[in-house]
Structure 1
Amino acid sequence: MSTTERRLGEARTQDEAAIEAAIRRVPDWQGREATYKMLVGGINNRNWLVAVDGHPRRYFVKVPGPGTEKFIDRAVAHQAAVNAHAMGLAPEVVYFDPSDGLEVHEFLEGYAACTNADFERAEIQEAVIACYRQLNAGPKLGLTKTIFDMIDEHWQDAKALGAFLPHDFDWMMKQYGQARAAFEASGLDLVPCFNDPMPGNFLVSPGKPMKIVDYEFASNNERAYELGVLLGEMFFTEERSLQLIEAYYGEARPETVARVWIGRALADIKWAGWAIQNRMLTDWDFDYQKYGDWKWARARSVILDPRWEWWLRLVASGRPQPR
């Protein structure tokens, strides 16, 4: 994958031809020279840093990857990004083409993407919790897609594509069904959610507020899941997880902790399905099968916790905790 900077007309690969075509589509850039350089880190899409002659700032351009329209609602992702920018949580959306989801954002100069190591720092953890409290309190999105909708979609697609299913798939789906029934018995706490806490989606700069980018998986979803997928993704200890649950909600009630802990397992079931079905749609420049198998194993480890049945009972008999 080349990260060489090129000017318009110098494309040498299919990806470079695609970004040149994208640049020429942006109305405010018509007739201007531009340079572009691929950014490292995109999995679903190709991401580019673009500089346009006569413009004082640089731009982040996302060219959607093939097949991603199956599980990404680009219009809702755009809505979420616009809402987040209005709240001071995201860069400005400069251009969006609803026909294929092409996105252009301001490039946040001086910001760097977080790593897993950054999330060992208390100030980073607390900044994310503060961002989530604000984001989850924002206006509802045009799409309600719960964690249960996501799991069903990914695994139905995986089976339809002929993907290799884990040996204990039926057992896991039974546990998933019990978790779903528990949440539905108590009622879902639906709020606008980010749903995708990869470390690189959180940008930081000394003395500046944290920003969140990449709203492709945003939807109205269960609040406790938003926190559960974050705690699981960042490998927080149970002690630290309880502290962050308290920081988010104001207190860590047993039924709320149970909702978040079950949300962790649901997150891994969802991302395992995402990876295993995505393996069938790509050219394997990322080892989706290995990633999916690892996520599946993590879900299994939570479900095999002796407290699993107790958590289910707490969720089924309780109500969502107000924040």
Structure 2
Amino acid sequence: MLTAERERPRRRPRRQPAGIGLAPRTFDHLDAQDIEIAEFVDGRRPSTHRDFADAALRTEAMDVYRRFHAAPLLPLTKTVFDMIAEHDRQVAELRAPVPPDHAWLSHQARLAQAALEASGLDLVPCFNDPMPGNFLVGEDGSILLIDFEYASNNDRLYDFAIWSGEMFSSESVDRELIEAYFGRYDEASFARRMVHKALADVKWWTWAMVQHTISSLDFDFYKYGIWKHMRARSIMNDPCWPAFPKAL
């Protein structure tokens, strides 16, 4: 039986982010109850979407990602393709609602997967969950990350793409961030980022349909999921879409 709680991976990278200065320390006193305890962090606040309109803070976020991506691999490898496949199985099992063009969208996701795998996956530790509240901003403009429950080894550009989608970044900002992270801009990285943007929305809309079916939380998962679906569709229906997988 599926539950909302089982949607979240249990193997958390508790100490690694703290060990490299990217997260508060955690304590394992209640591990047996699957409860994580983190130290209280003073002098910081959760970020908002508005914060990342500031170019300096965007650059700081990219530096945080660079440091996390350079860390040793995590115990769990779970790519966006694994996530989509898992949620697709759950949607079918639960007979959760899907849009009329679900088959077409799934076909586009498979084509994107084939192109990305053919180009080679760059597996690194990825945060995978860039909700603004997971970025704690200090008065000095530094950032700490919290909530690593979705973290796994994944393709490097997926982490950027899901962050970009969450922060509603424009294409010009995407190009700026690629240059900030890699030290240079190239079209292949931009194309990879756009493909992953669409895949991230596919992942989250299927997740939302599962939650709509099983969750007791007072949240409109259906509305959230359909919005994610519409954005994935808008990317995949764009005339530029066929060129992105070829540019990888």
**Common fold, TM-score beyond 0.5?**
yes
Q: Which residue of 2 aligns with 1:122?
A: 55
With a CA cutoff of 8 Å and minimum separation of 6, indicate the structure with the bigger relative contact order. Answer: 2
Separation in 2, partners of 1:237, 1:220: 26
Separation in 2, partners of 1:199, 1:96: 28
Shift of 1:281: 1.8
Q: Which residue of 2 aligns with 1:5?
A: none
Among 162, 173, 195, the alignment partner of 1:240 is 173
Q: Which residue of 2 aligns with 1:191?
A: 124
> Does residue 267 of the first structure (1) align with residue 203 of the second (2)?
no
Shift of 1:138: 0.4
Q: Which runs of structure 2 are paired with 1:267-286 in the superposition (5 Å)?
A: 267-286=200-219
TM-score (norm: length of structure 1):
0.74
Among 49, 72, 76, the alignment partner of 2:8 is 72
Q: Which runs of structure 2 are paired with 1:27-38 in the superposition (5 Å)?
A: none
Matched to 1:226, the amino acid is D
Q: Which residue of 1 aligns with 2:35?
A: 102
Q: Which residue of 1 aligns with 2:14?
A: 81
- Secondary structure of 1:102's counterpart equals coil
TM-score (norm: length of structure 2):
0.95
Where has structure 1 moved over 6 Å in runs of 4 or more?
none
- Secondary structure of 2:242's counterpart equals helix
Deviations 1:182-234 (A, max 9, x none): 01111110000000001010001212631000001000000011111111110
Structure 2 gap segments, 5+ residues each: none
- Relative to structure 1, the CA distance from residue 160 to residue 100 in structure 2 (aligned partners, 3 Å threshold; closer, same or farther) is farther
Deviations 1:268-301 (A, max 9, x none): 0001111110112212411111000000001011
Structure 1 gap segments, 5+ residues each: 1-65, 316-323
Q: Which runs of structure 2 are paired with 1:123-142 in the superposition (5 Å)?
A: 123-142=56-75
Query: What percent of counterpart residues are identical?
Result: 42
Among 68, 71, 92, the alignment partner of 2:25 is 92
Matched to 2:109, the amino acid is Y
> Does residue 207 of the first structure (1) align with residue 143 of the second (2)?
no
- Secondary structure of 2:140's counterpart equals coil
Q: Which moved more, 1:98-107 or 1:224-233?
A: 98-107
Separation in 1, partners of 2:29, 2:58: 31
Aligned partners of 1:276 and 1:292 also within 8 Å: yes
**Structure with the larger helix share:** 2
Separation in 2, partners of 1:272, 1:245: 26
Q: Which residue of 1 aligns with 2:187?
A: 254
Q: Which residue of 2 aligns with 1:180?
A: 113
Aligned partners of 2:4 and 2:215 also within 8 Å: no
Q: Which residue of 1 aligns with 2:235?
A: 302
Separation in 2, partners of 1:100, 1:260: 38
Shift of 1:101: 2.2
Among 147, 151, 167, the alignment partner of 2:100 is 167
**Structure with the larger strand share:** 1
